[in-house]
Amino acid sequence: MFTKNAVALAVAATLALPGVAAAQSQEERSQEELRALREQVKQLDKRVTDAEQTAIQASNRPASESAFNPAVSLILNGIYSNLSQDPKTYRINGFVPSNGEVAPPPRGLSLGESELAIAANADHMFRGTGIFSVSPENQIEVEEAYIQTLALSYGFTIKAGRFFSAVGYQNQIHAHAWDFTDAPLVMKAFLGNQLSDDGIQLKWVAPTPFYFDLGAEAGRGKSFPAGPAGGRNKNGVSSGNFFAHLGGDLGTGTAWQIGASYLTTSPQDRVYDDVDSTGTAVTNSFTGKTRLWVLDGILKWAPDFNPTETYFKLQGEYFRRKESGDLTFDTAGVLGTQTGGYSSAQSGWYLQGVYQFVPLWRVGYRYDRLDAGTTSIGVVDSGALTAADFPVLAAYSPTRQTVMMDWSPSEFSRVRLQYAQDKARSDAKDNQVFLQYIVSLGAHGAHKF
């Protein structure tokens, strides 16, 4: 009996072995299929992640550029000038000369300032921009060269390098995009035509239904109203600027923006040229503190926000500057160096309007006014020198009126005719006529609002 039972168990085990082996084989195949499926999911997830990063970089880059093919543009600018006064003797009476390029272009035909721009995203974190200007005297200058973040959270952006300061409105706009041939008088008197500095800017755009930003800049202070030219030999920063803007839409065709900024710097030995009471050329210098407040506003109107047929733009800025410190007469010591206290409170403003009355054609009008305000010169108050020894600082309120008409056959070219009656000099009126062309070649970024 035992033998029969053993034989039965052996036969049953033999019959069951194929089923067990089949179950084990099925389980192994299932596990292999599961591992393969997991690997496919992992590869698919990686592809999705890579695609998202590519999309982020592409969204921050103009369609015409890439990491190996940056956007390159060239601005060509030429001008014919007819001036009733010699531009070499140009000055803004009542205000410390900035030594900037504030004079009109030379008489006759001349090549204006041309501009070469290169820009591209370095990666998904940074964008780089370099803008180089070529002067009529064949000098190449770095106008702007900076990096800018692309992926900071909560609306923050950091810019570092050389860039146009966000003081006021028009200072941030390149000259070829201005509505008139030259800068307003307030920019010439208080910013040396246009303020560019080496530094860093932090800007925050609020997540609101209307536009609102806050920002701060720290700079080297390499040019007027800072000093000396090129910046002081010191660690840290020499100038600071704080700014804010608020804007939005009205109805179905009007957009607006207002802004405020505060620039502060501490010039040291900031020199300027003048003549004394006998007509002898002297070089004076200022050391102290400069504070500048700016209010700006712009209003744009176009039917249904479409400026193709017609539009109107109203723009204005108000500047107020206070300076206090020491003014040194005749730094070279030819007539005898003398130093005394100095303080001033000066202001100025402009208002301009531009109207496109038919496609391609625009007309515009601008009014400028400066107020020399109150100025105290220590060496004059003490009787050591007379006010005649500082003729350029004599109280005066310069004004200028400008009209223009331009034709833009495309977004890449413009021809402008402009007439101005400039009373920046206290003893002469300058009638100015300009005929200007501006041509843009290559990909060019969008301009500021």
What pLDDT sits at residue 35?
Answer: 73
Q: Which residues of 209-218 are buried (b: 16+ CB within 10 A; e: fewer)?
A: eebbbebebb
Nearest Cα residue to 330 out of 269, 378, 285: 285
Would you state the structure tokens that stand for residue 102, as one six-digit string?
Answer: 């504030």
Largest CA distance in the chain: 146
Q: What's the mean pLDDT when you consider all of the chain?
A: 89
What pLDDT sits at residue 77?
Answer: 95
In this prediction, residues 312-339 reach a mean pLDDT of 96
Rounded to two decimals, the pTM is 0.85
Residue with tokens 């950091």: 158
Asked if pLDDT for residue 380 goes beyond 70, the answer is yes
Would you state the structure tokens that stand for residue 405, as one six-digit string?
Answer: 């008409």
Distance CA 430, CA 185 (A): 14
Distance CA 415, CA 184 (A): 20
Q: Name residue 244's beta-bridge partners.
A: 214, 260
Would you state the structure tokens that stand for residue 335, as one six-digit string?
Answer: 């007539």
- 2 versus 342: the higher-pLDDT residue is 342
Distance CA 75, CA 49 (A): 39
Would you state the structure tokens that stand for residue 402, as one six-digit string?
Answer: 């400008």
Nearest Cα residue to 147 out of 139, 156, 138, 157: 157
Distance CA 259, CA 242 (A): 11
- 43 versus 156: the higher-pLDDT residue is 156
- Counting DSSP H helices and E strands in the chain, the numbers are 3, 18
Specify whether the CB–CB gap between 347 and 319 falls below 8 A.
yes
In this prediction, residues 178-194 reach a mean pLDDT of 97
- 304 versus 352: the higher-pLDDT residue is 352
Q: Write out the H or E segment, with its range, that includes residue 321.
A: strand 311-329
Which pLDDT band holds residue 14 (cuts at 50, 70, 90)?
Answer: very low
Nearest Cα residue to 200 out of 161, 152, 244: 161
Distance CA 209, CA 192 (A): 37
Which pLDDT band holds residue 101 (cuts at 50, 70, 90)?
Answer: confident
Asked if pLDDT for residue 110 goes beyond 60, the answer is yes
Q: Give tens-digit pLDDT for 132-182.
A: 998 888 889 999 999 999 989 999 999 999 999 999 999 999 999 999 999
Specify whether the CB–CB gap between 201 and 159 falls below 8 A.
yes
Chain-centre distance of CA 435, in angstroms? 26
Would you state the structure tokens that stand for residue 420, as one six-digit string?
Answer: 């101005």
Would you state the structure tokens that stand for residue 136, as one six-digit string?
Answer: 């009529």
Asked if pLDDT for residue 6 goes beyond 80, the answer is no
